[in-house]
Amino acid sequence: MLQMILIILAGALTFLPLHKIWWQRKDFQKWIPSRYGLGVVYGVFLFYMGLLDQTVTLLITAYIPIIAVWLIIDNSVIYMMIRTFRRKQAAIGAGAGILILTVFLLFIFLQPLFLADNKYDMAGGEEVTEEDLDPVSEESIPVVPRSYAEYRSDIMMGQLDNPAFYNLGNTRIQRMDDALYWVTPIEYDGIFRWIRSDHVPGFIIVSAENPREDPQLVEAEMNYVPSAFFHENLERHVRMSYPDAVMLDTTFELTDEGEPRYIVNYGHFTEFRRVPDVDGVIIIDPQDGSMEQYEVDETPEWVNRVYPPHIAEQRNTWFGIYKQGIVNRFFGREGLTEPTAWGSDDAVTGVVDENLQLNWFTDHMRLQNEGEEGSRSMVGFTMFDARTGDLRYFRDASGSLNGRTAMDLAERTFRRDDYVAGTPSLYNIYGQYTWVVPLMDRNSVLREIMLVNARDENIYGYGDTKQEAFNAYQLELSSEVDDDVVPGELTDMVEETVTVERVYQWDREESVTVRLWLEEQDRIFTLSTSSHPTAVFLEPGDEITIGYMDNNETVQPIEEMEFDVSQ
CA-wise closest residue to 494 among 545, 442, 540: 545
- DSSP H or E stretch at residue 63: helix 56-81
Instruction: Give the residue, 321 or 479, on which the prediction is more confident.
Output: 321
Q: Are residues 178 and 268 in the same domain?
A: yes
Q: Are residues 57 and 103 in the same domain?
A: yes
Cα distance between residue 147 and residue 443, in whole Å: 9
Q: Are residues 90 and 106 in the same domain?
A: yes
CB of 227 closer than 8 Å to CB of 169: yes
Q: Are residues 314 and 454 in the same domain?
A: no
Q: How many domains does the chain have?
A: 5
The reported pLDDT for the residue numbered 486 is: 43
CB of 430 closer than 8 Å to CB of 438: no
Neighbouring residues of 307: CB distance < 8 A, sequence distance ≥ 6: 265, 278, 360, 384, 385, 386, 387, 388, 389
Q: Does residue 213 lie in a domain region?
A: yes
Q: Does residue 524 lie in a domain region?
A: yes
Contacts within 8 Å (CB) and 24+ apart, 49-55: 51/235, 51/236, 51/239, 51/247, 53/243, 53/244, 53/245, 53/246, 53/247, 54/3, 54/4, 54/7, 54/243, 54/244, 55/244, 55/246, 55/268, 55/269
Q: Is the pLDDT of residue 329 over 70?
A: yes
Q: Are residues 159 and 264 in the same domain?
A: yes
The reported pLDDT for the residue numbered 526 is: 85
Cα distance between residue 560 and residue 527, in whole Å: 9
Cα distance between residue 254 and residue 30, in whole Å: 56
**CA–CA distances in Å: residue 433 to residues 394, 427, 436, 556:** 11, 6, 10, 21
- Tell me the one-letter amino acid at 457: E
Mean pLDDT confidence for 162-175: 93
Instruction: Give the residue, 181 or 325, on which the prediction is more confident.
Output: 181
Mean pLDDT confidence for 262-282: 95
Length, in residues, of the chain: 567
Residue 553 buriedness (CB in 10 A; 0-12 / 13-18 / 19+): middle
The reported pLDDT for the residue numbered 69 is: 95
Residue 34 buriedness (CB in 10 A; 0-12 / 13-18 / 19+): exposed
Q: Does residue 108 lie in a domain region?
A: yes
- Domain hosting residue 339, numbered range: 122-129+309-397
Pairing of β 555-557 and β 358-366: unpaired
Q: What is the mean pLDDT of the chain?
A: 89
Least confident of 168-182, 258-272, 295-309, 339-353: 339-353
Cα distance between residue 137 and residue 94, in whole Å: 68
Which of 413, 446, 480 lies at the terminal end of a domain, its last residue?
A: 480
CB count in 10 Å sphere of residue 29: 12
Q: Does residue 485 lie in a domain region?
A: no
Q: Are residues 433 and 528 in the same domain?
A: no
Q: Can you give the C-alpha Rg of the chain in angstroms?
A: 31
- 435-486 pLDDT per residue, tens: 999 999 999 999 999 999 999 999 999 988 888 888 888 878 766 654 444 4
Q: Are residues 294 and 386 in the same domain?
A: no
Q: How does residue 90 score in pLDDT terms, banded at 50, 70 and 90?
A: confident
Q: How does residue 226 score in pLDDT terms, banded at 50, 70 and 90?
A: very high
The reported pLDDT for the residue numbered 40 is: 97
* Secondary structure of 532-564 as H, E, C letters: CHHHHHCCCCCEEEEEEECCCCCEEECCEEECC
Instruction: Give the residue, 319 or 467, on which the prediction is more confident.
Output: 319
The reported pLDDT for the residue numbered 6 is: 95
Q: Are residues 218 and 232 in the same domain?
A: yes
Q: Are residues 412 and 393 in the same domain?
A: no
The reported pLDDT for the residue numbered 91 is: 86
Q: Does residue 329 lie in a domain region?
A: yes
Q: Does residue 446 lie in a domain region?
A: yes
- 64-83 pLDDT per residue, tens: 999 999 999 988 888 787 76
